[in-house]
Amino acid sequence: MTPAAEAGRRIARRGVVLGLLALAGLAGVYVLALGYTPVEARQGLAQKIFYLHVPAAWCALLAFSLVGIASALYLWLHDPRLDRFAASSAEVGVAFAAVMLTTGPIWAKPIWGTWWTWDARLTLTLFLFFLFVGYLALRAAVHDAGERARFSAVVGILGMLLVPFIHLSVYLFRTLHPQPIVLKPSAPSLPPQMLRTLLVSMLVFTVLYVGLVSLRYGLAMMEEAAEEAGDAR
């Protein structure tokens, strides 16, 4: 095994450990959400979807923002590690966005009376998801590594530009979606048990993001090393 492949394997293995720790943490979040936090009087048990939906949204938007930053830095520095990180973060971001876009409608149905509504927050989020699915399809379609990195960096930066609009969309447009209750200028408006559970869940999801990105990044290193070894033969 080449040194690059060995380094990739080490990073991927660390990612697996972090990912497994985070999944154990997720079980802890379930215990907190079901046993520790009170049942919200107006929304009932469905409100507890909040402890998955919000952290998944946080990780998806964090992942896509980091894709944009890494892509911009790639166009400036031409360091392949930045391109590899952007690709890894985009793929993991799509997984978290899938969680956000499935738990959201499941929560919306009993509370709003509909699975989906075409308001600004939901529509922009769906577009962001499709944009990054397109980003991954573009990467799969372009075989030249330099071109692939350049083209996808531009899409990654454009995707990142949607993130602040999504966060501010609940202020800029009339929407059914609630306004932020934690990431806002004033203090979080949540009972302490709910806030603590949410913060634990956000930490667990962030560790899972780091674990999955490490695993995906290490895998990419191993696959690139295998391709280079194949070309050399």
Contacts with another protein by CB under 8 A lie at 9, 12, 16, 19, 23, 26, 30, 39, 41-46, 48-49, 52-53, 56, 92, 95-96, 98-99, 102-103, 106-107, 109-110, 208, 212, 215-216, 218-219, 222-223, 226
In the complex, minimum distance from the CB of residue 56 to another protein, in angstroms, rounded to a whole number? 7
Q: What is the 3-state secondary structure (H, E, C) of 197-223?
A: HHHHHHHHHHHHHHHHHHHHHHHHHHH
Rg of the chain over Cα atoms, rounded to whole angstroms, equals: 19
In the complex, minimum distance from the CB of residue 190 to another protein, in angstroms, rounded to a whole number? 18
Q: Hey, what are 207's tokens?
A: 């560790």
In the complex, minimum distance from the CB of residue 206 to another protein, in angstroms, rounded to a whole number? 13
What's the CA gap between 209 and 149, in Å, rounded? Answer: 22
In the complex, minimum distance from the CB of residue 187 to another protein, in angstroms, rounded to a whole number? 27
CA-to-CA dists, residue 167 to 10, 55, 107, 113, angstroms: 36, 14, 19, 24
In the complex, minimum distance from the CB of residue 27 to another protein, in angstroms, rounded to a whole number? 9
What's the CA gap between 39 and 153, in Å, rounded? Answer: 44
Q: How many CA atoms lie within 13 A of 91 on its CB side?
A: 20
In the complex, minimum distance from the CB of residue 110 to another protein, in angstroms, rounded to a whole number? 4
Residue (12 or 157) nearer to another protein, CB: 12
What's the CA gap between 92 and 15, in Å, rounded? Answer: 12
Residue (42 or 143) nearer to another protein, CB: 42
Residue (163 or 208) nearer to another protein, CB: 208
CA 127 from chain centre, in angstroms, equals 15
What's the CA gap between 233 and 227, in Å, rounded? Answer: 10
Residue (23 or 158) nearer to another protein, CB: 23
